[in-house]
């Protein structure tokens, strides 16, 4: 019986494969929750950092994507103690410390506040860390893939804080997740009162478990680690906690052996995503395209060089250019079939111009790792293969 069924299924499969798709026949049924076409196989690249499940990171396949919104299923992840299974109906946010009225909020209560939605980029503070030491990766997913863009929905934290009444002595907020390791970060009060978001939605639906379901902190333009997932506790204090993830990690060791601490903002940078590492191109016309972003407002300019940095030309920016969001740039290029080095550099509204690897290393040395944001050159070999430089 079992064998027979297997044969039938197999047989049907062969028949389906052999038949030419008849455009006069009606198509497949609808799906209650959509899926992409079977031939589309773009996927995250997973790096497990310990034998324990769920730790490490998964990286966004930047070279495969269009536009500036990362599909939620392809958004990058970084976990320190795996992905907890949390029921939204049982999840609560406790706010305490230097406040007038310590309060507990259910998810239902948080969703009753007027909601706020905005498109933002998010990048891990450790994105492209290896590049600083010359440990380049073969493709842009592995080198730059701890970067994604999404529309985030939630309630501005300062609105919720009106109910608790933060005391003037409170200078920091310690945000803690309900993951197994209770990951915690200290956030300066200025950011909390500026644009911090208690996010429960991403790209129009509830957060996915790996993005902090049912609630995460979102700090626009700041390193991803501060956007604490599975958020369950906010503690107001007169000092930071100096937690492990803000001292031992996410700090930048300089040449003098001193490390910079509380380096939150992601400075401006850009990268060409097509053509990029591991792709093969043919001589002729190509549209060079990539992404630019800055944690300090708006990208004002992206320039592209196709001659190893000797000359630069302005790329076209896809409008509208949103602040604190990914910006798509394009530059038309006819490749003559000779070896070439292509790269992009961006400028943001503070006047910051993205530097070369050499310029960055001259100031920071090779050990800071986090917040490395130098120009990324790609070599197009005479045979059309694109490699790192």
Distances in whole angstroms, Cα of residue 220 to Cα of each of 13, 214, 333, 350, 367: 48, 19, 34, 17, 26
Cα separation, 235 vs 216, in Å, equals: 15
Residue 244 CB neighbours (<10 A) = 13
Cα separation, 173 vs 175, in Å, equals: 6
* Binding partner of residue 354 among other proteins, ligand HEC, none, CB cut-off 5 to 8 Å per kind: other proteins
Residue 348, SS3?
A: strand
* Nearer to other proteins among residue 75 and residue 269 (C-beta): 269
Distances in whole angstroms, Cα of residue 151 to Cα of each of 140, 220, 365: 23, 11, 36
User: Torsion-angle region of residue 349: left (phi > 0), alpha (psi -120 to 50) or beta?
Assistant: alpha
- Residue span 232-261 as binding mask against ligand HEC, x where in contact by CB under 6 A, dash where not: ----------------x-------------
* Binding partner of residue 278 among ligand HEC, other proteins, none, CB cut-off 5 to 8 Å per kind: none
Cα separation, 170 vs 109, in Å, equals: 24
First to last CA, the chain: 59
Which of positions 183-242 make contact with other proteins (CB under 8 A)? 183-184, 232-233, 235, 237, 239, 241-242
Q: Please give the size of the binding site for other proteins, defined by CB under 8 A.
A: 69
Instruction: Determine, following the binding rule CB under 8 A, whether residue 139 of this chain makes contact with other proteins.
Output: no
Instruction: Determine, following the binding rule CB under 8 A, whether residue 105 of this chain makes contact with other proteins.
Output: yes
By CB under 8 A, name the one of 12, 14, 46, 244 that touches other proteins: 244
Instruction: Determine, following the binding rule CB under 8 A, whether residue 349 of this chain makes contact with other proteins.
Output: no
Q: Please give the size of the binding site for ligand HEC, defined by CB under 6 A.
A: 4
Which of positions 28-67 make contact with ligand HEC (CB under 6 A)? 50, 52
- Residue 145 makes CB contacts below 8 A (sequence gap 6+) with 44, 45, 59, 60, 61, 62, 76, 127
By CB under 6 A, name the one of 59, 75, 80, 232 that touches ligand HEC: 80
Minimum distance from residue 267 beta carbon to other proteins (Å): 6
Minimum distance from residue 240 beta carbon to other proteins (Å): 8
Binding region for other proteins (CB under 8 A):
49-52, 80-81, 94-96, 101-105, 109-110, 112-113, 155, 160, 163-164, 174, 176, 180-184, 232-233, 235, 237, 239, 241-244, 247-248, 251, 253-265, 267, 345, 350, 352-356, 359-360, 363-364, 366-367, 371
């Amino acid at each position: 019986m079992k064998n027979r069924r297997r044969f039938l299924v197999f047989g049907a499969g062969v028949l389906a494969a052999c038949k030419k798709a008849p455009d006069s026949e009606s198509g497949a049924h609808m799906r209650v929750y959509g899926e992409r076409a079977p031939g589309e196989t773009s996927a995250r690249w997973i790096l497990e950092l310990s034998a324990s499940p769920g730790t490490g990171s998964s990286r966004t396949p930047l070279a495969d994507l269009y536009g500036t919104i990362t599909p939620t299923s392809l958004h990058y992840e970084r976990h320190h103690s795996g992905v907890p299974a949390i029921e939204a109906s049982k999840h609560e946010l406790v706010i305490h410390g230097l406040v007038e009225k310590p309060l507990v909020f259910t998810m239902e209560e948080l969703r009753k506040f007027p909601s706020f939605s905005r498109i933002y980029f998010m990048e891990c503070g450790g994105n492209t860390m290896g590049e600083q030491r010359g440990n380049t990766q073969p493709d842009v997913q592995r080198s730059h893939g701890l970067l994604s863009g999404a529309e985030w929905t939630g309630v501005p934290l300062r609105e919720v804080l009106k109910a608790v009444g933060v005391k003037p002595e409170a200078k920091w907020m310690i945000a803690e997740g309900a993951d197994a390791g209770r990951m915690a970060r200290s956030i300066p009060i200025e950011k909390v009162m500026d644009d911090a978001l208690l996010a429960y939605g991403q790209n129009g639906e509830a957060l996915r478990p790996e993005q902090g379901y049912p609630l995460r902190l979102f700090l626009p333009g700041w390193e991803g680690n501060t956007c604490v997932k599975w958020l369950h506790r906010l503690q107001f204090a007169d000092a930071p906690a100096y937690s492990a993830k803000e001292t031992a990690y996410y700090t930048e060791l300089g040449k003098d052996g001193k490390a910079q601490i509380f380096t939150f903002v992601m400075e401006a940078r850009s990268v060409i995503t097509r053509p990029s590492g591991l792709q093969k191109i043919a001589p002729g016309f190509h549209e060079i395209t990539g992404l630019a972003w800055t944690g300090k407002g708006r990208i004002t300019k992206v320039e592209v060089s196709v001659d190893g940095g000797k000359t630069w030309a302005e790329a076209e920016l896809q409008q509208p250019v949103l602040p604190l969001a990914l910006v798509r740039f394009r530059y038309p290029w006819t490749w003559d079939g000779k070896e070439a080095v292509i790269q992009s550099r961006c400028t943001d509204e503070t006047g910051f111009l993205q530097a070369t690897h050499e310029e960055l290393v001259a100031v920071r040395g090779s050990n800071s790792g986090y917040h490395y944001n130098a120009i990324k050159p790609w070599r197009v070999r005479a045979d059309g293969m694109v490699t790192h430089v």
